Amino acid sequence: MDEPLFKKLKTEDSHEDKMNEPLLKKLKTEESHEDRISTHDNNKFVDNQDGNNNSHQTFLNEQNETNIKKSKKSINIYDRKNEEKVGMLHFVNQPCQFSGIIKQRFADFMVRECDLEGNLVYLKSLEHCDNGIFEDSSNQNTVVPVDVDVEQIKNFVLSEDKSKTLILKKDDDKEHRKLVHKYIKDTYKDIETGTEMLPDGSRAIILSFKCAKQQKSRKNNTWPKNLPKFCHFTLFKQNKDTMECISLLAKLLHVNASCFSYAGTKDRRATTVQQISAQNIYSKNLLGVNKRLNNIVLGDFVYRNEQLKLGDLTGNEFTIIIRNVQADDASVNQACNLLKENGFVNYFGLQRFGTGGVATHEIGKALLKNNFSEAVDMVLMPRLNSNDYNAESNAKKIWTETKDAAKAFEALLSCYSIEGKLLAALNQQKHGYNFWNAWQTLPRNNRLLYLHSYQSFIWNHVVSKRINMYGLSPVVGDLVLTGKKDQNGYDTSYELTDKDIESLTYSIYDVVLPLPGYDMRYPSNGIRQVYEEMLVADGLDINNMRNKIKELSLSGKLRNIIAKPTNMEWRVSL
């Protein structure tokens, strides 16, 4: 009987999970054929590292291909060659491996984000927070005129239908109307007021939403005073990637996807919880889209002055079920114990490099070389040997063969995907294509992911080369963190000397390598040459990582080459 066991950092009946349970009933359960497949041994581990899943690397090997082919369900077969292409060459615990299937079900791979304070993100509340905020925002700065129905005005402002108007009760007192006009103008910058003549000859104030052009011209003044501009919320999703959710929210709320930001993307075929921030969007409006979403829930709304940025997290908690394990209990326990004790090579996982027609790091490289037309072409390139015949693949094929943005966009049917945004932007250009301008229509986090992917590709290969050259021990010239920040808030490093090596002060777990970028310090041993050679081969210069376009100037970052999962637990079940 199929009875998979979850074992998390916090037990299944923890207080947080009890709070989550009633909130998640709206999520669709998987009742597809895959739920009826019998399973054999199951194994689970939790890894609270840097948001990068290396379970493929640690647990699976070539034997998996034969085992998975026997499954009744079509599952992506593990292929070691895909990892080798992006530099993932080494295991810390090489002799001890076993094979199995991950992500057979959405619930087999669960991810909870860990914020900058070290708190795990849970979905706890489905209440908006606009009532108190509006009172605080308006009462501190403006005087509410007498005989004004504040609640009626609030409800109108939060309405999703921007074509509506609201006529207040009749008011023939001109001075009083002036006070009301001023109050609304000061409190709700995206609302326009006027005076309406009623059928009986009396007058009343009428409220309407400013048109898009007016709002755009005053975009910095369309938010209530003293109300923080960023609404942070928890996003719970299942079988959807982060950007797919962002694009859908932008579509439903009639805003640009660039209004949203996040600390990191989460896996698609998984159940994940993370934080998102939205600029100049009321929590009531965000909450209102829940009823129109499937397998997505928004909650835990709070207004803050700062938006989330990529990297604003300390890690992720993973709960993973591995099915059809091809090993005995002793071998599984040995492998998991070694993983817990020795850790793993801290590679960036395959998800960092995408699944499109061209790997994301290749697109990032083209951008760094200012080859914008090439970058756009690669995003719009069909997957090789793909049997997909959907609108997206058809649109990509049209663009690749004709370079006709109008025809390709017409075939795509939607402008909310990355491909759709690019084709929509190109289609609007009347006098030749400006590929950089088209690229700028993508949300900033999307654009940065391609650049980060290239940095990750270089880093993976350099780490593998460093292990080839020096093994898993610190050597002279290696870098370690000092625990201090520079004036720009970046980690600073210290270079190991002969004395440090002799004293055994540092271990391999302290050694870091930089993601390539400007003003980065590189190891003085042979590893710097590895960086130089890889960048030169790609047409880039390690000493000139700044670009005339600020966005394309890479700042770099230090990252531990070996990592250990924290609070790791596992259980084997028949």
Which residues have a catalytic role annotated?
A: 267
Query: For residue 373, how many other CB atoms are within 10 A of its CB?
Result: 15
**Do 257 and 246 meet the contact criterion of CB atoms below 8 Å apart?**
yes
- Looking from the CA of 490 toward its CB, the CA atoms found within 13 Å total 15
Distance of CA 12 to the CA centre of its chain: 26
Full strand arrangement of the beta sheet holding 511-515: 491-495, 479-485, 511-515, 557-560
CA distances to 37, 274, 317, 456, 515 from 348, rounded to whole Å, are 31, 19, 16, 6, 11
Q: Which helix (DSSP H) or strand (DSSP E) does residue 211 occupy?
A: none
Residue type for 338, please?
Answer: L
The amino acid present at 484, given as its one-letter code, is K
**Residues 14, 314 contacting (CB under 8 angstroms):** no
The DSSP letter of residue 21 is G
Measured at the CA of 353, the angle between CA 513 and CA 348, to 5 degrees, comes to 30
Question: How many residues are listed for the chain in this entry?
Answer: 574
- Return the bridge partners of 195, or none: 205
- Alpha helical stretches, state H, 60-129: 63-69, 80-85
Token couple for 435: 């590929």
| Distance of alpha carbon 226 from alpha carbon 230, whole angstroms | 12
Q: Is the backbone of residue 124 left (phi > 0), alpha (psi -120 to 50) or beta?
A: alpha
Pairing state of beta strands 230-238 and 296-304? Answer: antiparallel
Token digits for 242?
């982060």
- Between CA 292 and CA 176 the distance in angstroms is 41
Place of tokens 């003549």: 197
